[in-house]
Chain A
Amino acid sequence: MRPAIKRGVSLYSYQEEYFLRKMTLEDCIAAAAAAGATGIEVVGEQMFPGFPRLSEAFLEQWFGWMEQYGVEPVAHDMMLDLEPYKGRYLTLDEQLASVLRDLHFARQLGCKVVRVIVNASPELMERAIPYAEEMDIKLGIEVHSPWHLHSAWMTRHLEVMEKTGTKHFGFIPDGGAFTRRLPRVAVERMIREGADEKIAAFVCEQHEKGVLAEYIIAEVEQMSNRPIDRALAMMTRHNVFSNPRSIEQFEGRIVHVHGKCYEMLEDSLDGRPYEYSIPYDEIVAALKNIGFDGYICTEYEGNRHIQDIMEVNSVEQVRRHQRMLEQLIG
Chain B
Amino acid sequence: MFEKYMIVPEEARNVTENGRVTGFQFGARLPYYRGVGLSLVEDIQVKIDGEPVAPENLTVTVHGNTYTLEEMARTFEDRWEMGEVALITIRREGGLPPGEHTIDLLLNLRISYLPFPAIRKATKTIKIP
Which residues of A approach B to under 8 Å, CB–CB? 12, 15, 18-21, 43, 45-47, 49-51, 79-86, 117-119, 304, 307-308
Contact assessment for B112 and A45 in the assembled complex, using a CB-CB cutoff below 8 Å: no
Contact assessment for A81 and B112 in the assembled complex, using a CB-CB cutoff below 8 Å: yes
B81: Cβ under 8 A from any A Cβ = yes
9 contacts between A and B (CB under 8 A): A18-B83, A19-B29, A20-B83, A21-B83, A45-B82, A51-B79, A79-B34, A82-B112, A86-B42
Which residues of B approach A to under 8 Å, CB–CB? 1-2, 4-5, 29, 33-37, 39-40, 42, 73, 76, 79, 81-84, 110-113
Chain A residues near B1 (CB, 8 Å)?
Answer: 304
Chain A residues near B42 (CB, 8 Å)?
Answer: 86
Contact among B39, B81, B82 for A85, CB-based, below 8 A: B39
Contact assessment for A46 and B112 in the assembled complex, using a CB-CB cutoff below 8 Å: no
Q: Chain B: which residue is nearest A303 at the CB level? A: B1
Chain A residues near B34 (CB, 8 Å)?
Answer: 43, 45-46, 79
Contact assessment for A83 and B112 in the assembled complex, using a CB-CB cutoff below 8 Å: yes
Contact assessment for A80 and B73 in the assembled complex, using a CB-CB cutoff below 8 Å: no
Contact assessment for A49 and B81 in the assembled complex, using a CB-CB cutoff below 8 Å: yes
Chain B residues near A119 (CB, 8 Å)?
Answer: 112-113
Q: How far is the CB of B110 from chain A (nearest CB, A)?
A: 5
Contact assessment for B36 and A45 in the assembled complex, using a CB-CB cutoff below 8 Å: yes
CA distance A215 to B68 in the complex (A): 47
Closest 10 CB pairs of A and B: A19-B83, A82-B112, A304-B1, A119-B113, A45-B34, A46-B34, A83-B110, A15-B33, A49-B81, A84-B39
Chain B residues near A79 (CB, 8 Å)?
Answer: 34, 113
Q: How far is the CB of B8 from chain A (nearest CB, A)?
A: 11
Contact assessment for A84 and B76 in the assembled complex, using a CB-CB cutoff below 8 Å: yes
Chain B residues near A307 (CB, 8 Å)?
Answer: 2, 4
Q: Chain A: which residue is nearest B37 at the CB level? A: A84
Chain A residues near B4 (CB, 8 Å)?
Answer: 307-308
